[in-house]
Chains A and B, each alone.
Chain A
Amino acid sequence: MQPAILPFPDSYTTPGRDALLRMLRFMKLHRAIEDRLEIAYRQGKLVGPLFVGRGQEAIGVGAGILLEADDAIFPSHRDLGAFLTKGVTPLQIFLQYLGRRDGPTRGRDGNLHMGDWSHRVGSFISHMGDTVPVAAGVAFAFKARNQPQVVLCFNGDGATSRGDWHEGLNIAAVLRLPVVYICVNNGYAYSTPLSQQMAVETVAERASGYGMPSQRVDGNDILAVHRTVEAAIQRARAGDGPSFVECVTYRMTGHGAHDPADYVPRAFLEEGERNDPIRRFLNWLDQSSRVSPFDVDVIDRSIEAEVEKAWAEAEAAEAPSGPETLLGVYAEGA
Chain B
Amino acid sequence: MITYIEAIRQALFEEMRRDPDIFLIGEDIGNFGGAFKATQGLLEEFGPMRVVDAPIAEAGFTGLSIGASMMGMRPIVEFQFSDFMSCAFDQITNFASTTHYRMGVPVPVTFRAPTGGGFNGGPFHSQCPEMYYVHTPGLKIVAPATVYDAKGLLKAAIRDDNPVIYFEHKHLYRRLKEDIPDDDYVVPIGKASVRLSGNDLTILTYGAMLHVCFAALDRIPDSEGAVEIIDLRTLKPLDEETILASVKKTGKVLIVHEDRQTGGLAGELAAIVADKAFEFLDGPIRRVTAPDTPVPYAPPLEHFYLPNEEDVANAVTELLDY
Contacts and interface: CB of A to CB of B under 8 A. Distances in A.
A269 interface: no
Interface string A162-200: 011001101100110000000000000000000000000
Contact of B57 (A122, A127, A167, A330): A167
B84 interface: no
Given A144-B49, A170-B57, A137 B102 contact: no
Contacts, number: 137
A113 B161 contact: no
A130 B52 contact: no
A97 B206 CA distance: 44
A44 interface: no
A303 interface: no
A108 interface: yes
Contact of B100 (A163, A164, A171, A331): A331
Contacts of A108: 101-102
B139 to A, nearest CB: 9
A113 B94 CA distance: 13
Given A328-B100, A328-B104, A329-B101, A140 B138 contact: no
A130 B64 contact: no
Contact of A137 (B69, B105, B159): B69
A127 B137 CA distance: 18
Contacts of B91: 130, 133-134, 164
B195 to A, nearest CB: 27
Nearest to B91: A130
Contacts of B63: 130-134, 136-137, 164, 167-168
A133 B67 contact: yes
A138 interface: yes
Contacts of A141: 67-68, 71-73
A137 B71 CA distance: 9
Nearest to B99: A123
Nearest to A334: B161
Nearest to A140: B68
A138 B70 CA distance: 7
A130 B94 contact: yes
12 contacts: A115-B103, A130-B95, A137-B67, A138-B70, A141-B68, A142-B71, A167-B55, A168-B64, A175-B52, A329-B137, A330-B138, A330-B162
